[in-house]
Each structure stands twice: as C-alpha cells, then as structure tokens.
Chains A and B, each alone.
Chain A
Amino acid sequence: METGFIILFGLTMLYLAATSRIIAHIRLLIVQGVLLFLICCCGFEHHNWLNIAFLTVETLIVKSIVIPWFLYKVLKKTHSNRDVAANIPHFYCLVISSLILLAGFLASNYLVSSVKMISPIYFGVSAAVIIISLWLITIKHKIISNVIEFITMENGIFLLSLSVAKEMPMLVNLGVLLDVFIAVYILGLFVNEINKEFNDLEVSHLSDLKDYEYND
C-alpha cells in the first residue's frame, strides 16, 4: 500500500512536467497533499497522537487545502492560465523527468542493502521529486509555475523527512511548516505585485538588474 502511494506520488511529477495549464498544476498540488497524507497514515501506528495530529494538519489542511486555495486566488487575480513558452517541449520534459524518476527507483534498489536508517523507496522517489522540481524551475517561464514547483520540491523534502526512521523534533517540524507556509504566502504576494507592476508574469521581465548595461 505504502509503496503504491509513494510511486503514485512520484508519477504526479510526470504529469506536472507534461502539462501546461496552471490550474491543472494547482489541482496536482491537492493530489500530492492527499497522497502525502495517505503515506503518513500507513505509518500512524508508530507515532504518538501529537505527531498524528500535526501530520494531518500539515498534509491535509495546509498542503492540500490552504496553499492550493491561496494559489488559486492568485491565479484568478493575475489571469495567467498557461505556461506555454517553456524552453523545452513537453515531450522532452516528460522523457527527462521519467529518466530522473527511473534513476531514483534504481538508486533506491541499490540502496536497499547498504543503509539501515532510511527506507530506500522513500529516499529514491523524494530525491527524484526534488531534482525534477529544481529542473522544472529552471525551464519554466511564468513565475507562478516557479512557485508551484517550489512547493512540489518542499513536498519532496517532506517525503524525505518521513523516510528517516526516527522523528525530527516537534519544534523543528512546526517551524518548517510555518516557514514554508509563510514563504508561499510571501511568494504569492510578490506574484500579485509583479503582475501589477509589469502586467505580465514572465520571468524574462525580471532581468533588469545586472552589472553591465545597468539603467537606473
């Protein structure tokens, strides 16, 4: 069961790489949040109630309701529906993401024997998710897509933190949740501001600050 959810989580990244409608990306964030919740559920017998409550709030409420809802509002305000002009066509995006995911699975296969502290399949998939997200950030043209990929990267890191056989201290978990939440909030506010200032959300507008031809 658990492994199935993790693999599904990895596959959502392929969907992200292959589509260009931003509303679809936001829906995908909801799916990822729910999947993360289900993955947590599989391990609930090892946790105390405080941790269970915390994980539920983090995955179900913040990751699959609050953040997508907020991004949806930003999207409506800024009227940006598609990220069409990616540097690389979707087909190649899909191929490259699949290769990275495959590498993740292979790595987890090799790791099975060598490590004790970490569950291999978690590690492989989360590493692949983080790398795919970072790579997608570099090729997308709309800043709102960059925010979405930032969140998928955070989801990947969350999965990685689940993979460690012991718990992170509660305080740190709470802090991380708060920081990610505020980061997304601030990035969302900036998306709005940039939209107001430039009438568009293209990353290429944000390249005026440089050392050579500086115009102030």
Chain B
Amino acid sequence: MINTILIFPIIACILVLIIKNKTFNTWMVNLYAVLHFVITVLLASGHGAKNGIPYFAVDNTNMIFLIVLSVVFLMVAIYNTGYVKNLDVPDRRISHYSFMILVFVLSMTGTLLSTDLGLAWVLIEATTLSSAYLIYFNKTKHSIEAAWKYVFICSIGIALAFVGIILLNVSSGAVNSMNFAQLYEHASGFDLAWLKLAFVFMLFGFGAKMGLAPIHFWLPDAHSEAPSPISALLSAALLNSAFLVIVRVFKIMEIANCTDYARLMLFVMGFLSLFVTTVFVYHIKNYKRMLAYSSIENMGILAIGMALGPVAYYAVVLHLIGHSLAKASFFLTSGNILELFDSKRIKSVSGIVNADGKTGWLWAASFLAICAFPTSVLFISEFLIIKAMILQKHYVLCVLFVLLLTIILFGIGRVVIKMTFGELSEDKAKLIEENKKKVSLWMYVPQVIMLVIVFVMGIYIPDYLNDIIKLAVGAF
C-alpha cells in the first residue's frame, strides 16, 4: 500500500512529462488524488500497513496527518480541474505545473510517512524546491519575488535544522541512528545540553517551514502570489508536514525530561505568531495575504496547544483538522473571487453576494468556520485549549490568548463582511458577468464538502475517526 502511494506519482511524473496534453495532465493529478485517498482510507482501516518499504511506515501519530493531507489534496485536485481550464498558457507549462504538484504532494506524503528524522529533513527540503516553481507559476515580478524569498528563507531555515540534526546526533552518544523509534527508546540517556541546543535549531528550522512567528516572512508573500489551489495546498498540507516533524522532535524532548524548556520555546513562538497576526491583519490591503496571516495565527495556536502538554493534545489534533479544511476552503474561494474580480486588493472587491451568490456565501461560511463560530470544529478545539490554560492556572496567558484571537477575528471579520455584502458598482458588475463563465461547478463543490465536514465535526465525530484521533493523541 505504502509503496503504491509513493511509487505511483513517480510513474505519473514521467508520463506527464512525456505526454504534454492539458486534459491528460490534469487527470493524472486527479488520479493520484483519488488513489491517495483510497489508499489512505485503506491504511486507516488497518489494511496493508505491514508490507511497506524500509524508512516509510504509518503509525498512530502520522495517520491523522495523512488523512488530512489526503482529503485536502483530493479537494484541491477537484478544484484544480476547473482552475486549469481557465489558464491561458501553453500545454508545456501545464505539464510542468502538474509535474510539480505531483512531486510536491509526493514529498509531503513522504515527509509524513518517513520513520527517520534525516529522511524527513530531506523530504521537507524537497517540498520547498518543488513548490517554488508552483509559486512562480504566474511569472510576474511579484511572484518571482515571493518565490525567491520562499526558497531562500526556507533553505536557510532547513539548513539550520540540519545543524540541529547533527547536534542531536552528538547528544545521542552511542546511538547511531536517526530512526524515530530508536531515538525515543534511548532519549532518556541523551546529553541534555546538546539536546537543548539541537532542539532550538530544529524548532527554528522546521518552524520556518511551519510559519511560526519570527521566521514567517516568506509565508504571506508565497501564499498570496501562488495560484489559489497551490495556496490551499501550502496552507493546509505543507505547514502540517513541518508541524509533524516538530511534534516528533518534541516527543524526544519529553522523553529526555526537557519538556519545560521545549514548552517555553513553543509558548514564546506561539504567542509571537498570534501577536504578529494581530498587528498586521489590521493594515492589510490584499485578501490572500490576510488568509496567509490567519494561517500564521493558527500555527501559533497549534504551537501553544503543544506547549500546554497532554491535556491539550486532543484539541491540537482537532484544530489541525479544522484549520486545514477550513483554510483550504477559504483559499479556494479566494481563487473564485480572484477569477471574478481580477484583483487581490480588498478595496476593489465588494458585494460578492450580489456578483455571485454561491462564492459570496462560501466566502462568508469559510470565515465563520475559521473564526471558530459554533458548530465549527475549531470552536471545540479553541475552547479546549482555553480550558487547558485555565486548568493549568495560566490565567494571564489565557486572557492574552482570548484577547488576541478576538482582535484578529474583528480584523478579518471587518474585511470579509465588507467584501461580501458591500455595494457592487455598475462597471464591476459588467466585468463580473463576463468572468462568471470561468467559474465552473468544479470550483464550488470542494469548498462545500470541506465546510460541511468542518461544521459537522463540531457536533458529531464518527467513532472510527475519534479512535484515530485518540490514538494520535496517545502517541504525541
């Protein structure tokens, strides 16, 4: 099973490069998405987990990450089918685009499944390199700037993470392996001074990829300049893959009895992320950048949840699922708005509901999902995180957390409401009538599915999913 999920895209890549046909290439991506989803479902139900290849395996921790990636990728692939039809570019570039999507998803899947820290590092770097082309796809001055910053900042971050891995190797003494299971087994005997140093480097390196605050600068640029399906993949899948590595490294710290130190670092970075979002979300002129900042905020919440310890792990997993689905839906809808209004400026967009009712309501609903409006699953997760803070008597932090979230909510809400329900001018309406043809049914369905999942999960989580979440929480 695992071999198929990893080998199929390689074959598909070769086919896509040979047969440069728009329809064929798009459907190759779709085929991989469906295959990915089917295999993930099979793996989740316990089939075929055994006959893997060395260095790759599913375990309790990465199962839930894999499911999220799979669902998001399937939805993005559906959207992509409609999106690619509107692209007025030669078939050769579509072939490169599909090729890079396949490599990007392959490297993310590989990162999630890898059982070896070194290999996870290599694959995380591979995600950077493959998504750089996707960010640069529009070939404008802005997109090249975004792609350059992305590759450069992330490569340096990842290089520093490698320093962390070398230092971990030093601290691990006689253990000559980067295998997670072996690291966990021997973690209690590690040299603490070196381990702490290693953790700092790894948190900064993988944190740069995850979009945590002091090293988040690439994120708003890259997310806003990439084509919308890619923004959705970046935000809803890539950040999670980096988070998984941090979770695994954090577990080494836990076993080695260094939790206080690691938690403090996560707390600082988490709150810094919230703070940065709060400051910037108010002056934002570009709605895709706004969504990117919201991703930084949510990554901050995940970091804070991790820092709170085992009481909040359940909330972290729920938040991860909710954020990925809601944010993917938000980004995909922003793609519709971009098609309709031809502008990323908040000023030039208003009255989406009058222009195109479905897009308007999806935009509003995605906002409700991301701002944790009940019954969004994010409501449950944020509520549980606040509860964990109160239980641990972090009253000041709790107040700060709620305050920052409220300010961010107001900042985003103001913009979304203005964009959705404002006045629509005459000449804009004409432009939109023309552009409406571009937005096909493919570009509504995925958002609806994801939002339904998000809102239903707030009231009802099916037992089998709950079991998987609980296993993940236990293995965190």
Residues of A within 8 A of B (CB): 115, 117-118, 130, 134, 137, 143, 146, 150, 153-154, 157, 160-161, 164, 166-169, 171-172, 175-176, 178-179, 182-183, 186-187, 190, 193-194, 197-198, 206-209, 211-212, 214, 216
Contact = CB atoms under 8 A, between A and B. Distances in A.
Contacts of A146: 152
B224 A209 contact: yes
Contacts of B163: 130, 157, 160
Interface string B129-163: 10011001000011011111101100110010011
B166 A214 contact: no
B84 interface: no
B176 interface: yes
B197 to A, nearest CB: 11
Interface stretch (B18-26, B233-241, B278-286, B307-315): B278-286
Contact of A179 (B126, B142, B152, B170): B126
Given A172-B122, A175-B119, A190-B144, A211 B152 contact: no
16 contacts: A118-B170, A137-B156, A157-B162, A157-B163, A160-B166, A161-B162, A166-B176, A171-B116, A190-B132, A193-B136, A208-B141, A209-B146, A209-B225, A211-B220, A214-B289, A216-B343
B156 A153 contact: yes
B176 A208 contact: no
B227 to A, nearest CB: 15
A194 B163 CA distance: 30
A172 B119 contact: yes
Interface of B: 55, 116, 118-119, 121-123, 125-126, 128-129, 132-133, 136, 141-142, 144-149, 151-152, 155-156, 159, 162-163, 166, 169-171, 173, 176-178, 191, 194, 220-221, 224-225, 280, 283-286, 289, 343-345
Contact of A172 (B128, B155, B178, B286): B178
B166 A183 contact: no
Given A154-B159, A157-B159, A216-B343, 20 more contacts: A143-B148, A153-B156, A153-B159, A167-B176, A169-B177, A172-B178, A175-B119, A175-B121, A175-B122, A176-B162, A178-B122, A186-B133, A187-B151, A187-B152, A197-B144, A209-B225, A211-B280, A214-B285, A214-B286, A216-B142
